[in-house]
């Protein structure tokens, strides 16, 4: 079992420069603690994501850390020129000494896509073609491609990533029906779903991995994400988590409400207590957190646990306390 951090970098009410400065200090603490990975979201036009350019923010992360692997979860490929993105990926991989993790996806919000001028009915096809071009650009010295969205002829790809053939791939997967493709491409996966759905994803992945004749020792990271607050007592943790979740949830719904739309997936419940009941959050003392996370990681069949410990209006001190208590009293009991 390894542990990582997922971060929306959502609006917490502070000036933007202060949000960035506080988060970078927290990320330095992740690096010192032994946390394996840091994964940031990409969102646009919404307080849910105040770092809409992952490459820009992660270039600062590269310079402030030494061991931590990091990357976007995910680059929303339907919004990118794939060759320009390939060059940014190569830069980040070299700036970090080969620590970049490459999360890719279509993007979950048709509202965000539409505001960028990408019709939702075209997003999937554009994402798939952008992914194809990106893989070519990262692995071939000359890029040729002729598709409905992108055309390139004889483009010299002088920029190459440090990690060959490319940085490790990551994908967010909520639908168990999609496991065969990611398993066949040896892609690390994260599921935000309930433990029961996560188990379907991990069982399906392991079955597809085994059917392809691959060793269980080489299995990629199969992970899940949980909002988490740890404090000395259950009561204190719940008070803090309920407060922070109210702001985070308002940010989540902001753009959807502004355009009268509703998400197909990830419709988070009104209260943090309901999120706990669904098995998608933890708030409590170290003993409570250990018991809950041990049950959930076992039930989900995961080998990677992502923590969202800086959501809503959690203060840097509250997030740091969760990190310290988790690493000292919870992580040693999870294997």
Task: Render pLDDT for 51-69 as a digit per residue (tens, 0 to 9).
Answer: 999 999 999 999 999 999 9
Helix (H), strand (E), coil (C) string for the chain: CEEEEEECCCCCCCCHHHHHHHHHHHHHHHHHHCCCEEEECCCCCCCCCCCCCHHHHHHHHHHHCCCCEEEECCEEHHHCCHHHHHHHHHHHHHHCCCCECEEEECCCCHHHHHHCCCCHHHHHHHHHHHHHHHHHHHHCCEEEEECCCCEEEEEECCCCCCCCCCCCEEEECCCHHHHHHHHHCCCEEEECCCHHHHHHHHHHHHHHHHHCCCCHHHCCCEEEEEEEEECCCHHHHHHHHHHHHHHHHHHHHHHHHHCCCCCCCCCCCCCHHHHHHCCCEEEECHHHHHHHHHHHHHHHCCCEEEEECCCCCCCHHHHHHHHHHHHHHHHHHCC
Nearest to 80 by CA among 48, 47, 102, 63: 102
- Answer with the residue of higher pLDDT: 2 or 335: 2
Which pTM value belongs to this model? Answer: 0.96
Query: Does residue 174 have a pLDDT over 90?
Result: no
Query: Does residue 265 have a pLDDT over 90?
Result: no
- Interstrand relation of 281-284 and 222-230 (parallel, antiparallel or unpaired): parallel
Look at the chain and report how many structural domains it folds into.
1
The verdict on residue 291 lying in a domain is yes
State whether residue 9 is helix, strand or coil: coil
What percentage of residues in the chain have a pLDDT greater than 90?
90
Task: Render pLDDT for 12-45 as a digit per residue (tens, 0 to 9).
Answer: 999 999 999 999 999 999 999 999 999 999 999 9
Query: Does residue 335 have a pLDDT over 90?
Result: no
Q: 64: which 2 tokens?
A: 């402030």
The verdict on residue 69 lying in a domain is no
Instruction: Give the range of the structural domain holding residue 263, as residue numbers without chain letter.
Output: 1-37+223-335
Task: Render pLDDT for 195-213 as a digit per residue (tens, 0 to 9).
Answer: 999 999 999 999 999 999 9
pLDDT, residue 266, reads: 64
70 and 59 Cβ atoms separated by less than 8 Å: no
Length of the chain, in residues:
335
pLDDT, residue 173, reads: 86
Q: Which element (helix H / strand E) includes 242?
A: helix 234-258
Task: Render pLDDT for 110-143 as a digit per residue (tens, 0 to 9).
Answer: 999 999 999 988 999 999 999 999 999 999 999 9
The verdict on residue 286 lying in a domain is yes
pLDDT, residue 107, reads: 83
Mean pLDDT of 173-197: 90
The verdict on residue 98 lying in a domain is no
pLDDT, residue 175, reads: 81
Query: Residue 254: which CATH number?
Result: 3.20.20.30
The DSSP call for residue 274 is: H
- Range 307-317 burial, b when 16+ CB lie within 10 A, else e: bbbbbbbbebe
The verdict on residue 90 lying in a domain is no
State whether residue 27 is helix, strand or coil: helix
Task: Render pLDDT for 152-171 as a digit per residue (tens, 0 to 9).
Answer: 999 999 999 999 999 999 99
pLDDT, residue 201, reads: 95
What φ, ψ does residue 75 adopt, rounded to 5°?
-70, 125
Q: 196: which 2 tokens?
A: 């029961």
Mean pLDDT score of the chain: 95
The verdict on residue 171 lying in a domain is no
The verdict on residue 4 lying in a domain is yes
């Amino acid at each position: 079992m390894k542990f990582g951090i997922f971060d929306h970098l959502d609006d917490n009410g502070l000036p933007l420069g202060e949000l960035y400065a506080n988060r970078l200090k927290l990320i330095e603490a992740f690096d010192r603690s032994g946390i394996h990975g840091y994964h940031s979201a990409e969102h646009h036009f919404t307080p849910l994501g105040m770092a809409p350019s992952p490459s820009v923010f992660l270039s600062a992360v590269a310079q402030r850390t030494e061991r931590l692997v990091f990357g976007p979860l995910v680059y929303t490929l339907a919004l990118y020129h794939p060759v320009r993105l390939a060059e940014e990926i190569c830069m980040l991989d070299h700036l970090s000494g080969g620590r970049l993790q490459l999360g890719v996806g279509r993007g979950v919000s048709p509202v965000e896509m539409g505001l960028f001028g990408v019709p939702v009915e075209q997003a999937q096809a554009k994402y798939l073609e952008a992914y194809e071009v990106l893989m070519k650009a990262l692995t071939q010295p000359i890029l040729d491609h002729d598709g409905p969205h992108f055309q390139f002829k004889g483009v010299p790809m002088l920029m190459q990533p440090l990690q060959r053939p490319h940085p490790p791939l990551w994908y967010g997967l909520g639908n168990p029906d999609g496991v065969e493709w990611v398993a066949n491409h040896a892609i690390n996966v994260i599921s935000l779903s309930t433990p029961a759905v996560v188990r379907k994803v991990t069982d399906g992945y392991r079955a597809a991995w085994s059917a392809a004749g691959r060793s269980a020792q080489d299995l990629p990271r199969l992970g899940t994400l949980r909002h988490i607050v740890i404090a000395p007592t259950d009561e204190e943790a719940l008070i803090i988590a309920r407060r922070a979740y109210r702001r985070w949830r308002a940010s989540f719904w902001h753009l959807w409400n502004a355009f009268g739309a509703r998400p197909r997936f990830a419709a988070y419940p009104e209260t943090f207590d309901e999120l706990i009941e669904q098995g998608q959050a933890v708030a409590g003392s170290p003993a409570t957190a250990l018991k809950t996370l041990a049950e959930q990681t076992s039930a989900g069949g995961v080998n990677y646990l992502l923590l969202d410990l800086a959501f809503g209006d959690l203060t840097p001190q509250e997030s740091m306390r969760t990190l310290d208590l988790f690493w000292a009293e919870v992580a040693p009991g999870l294997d």
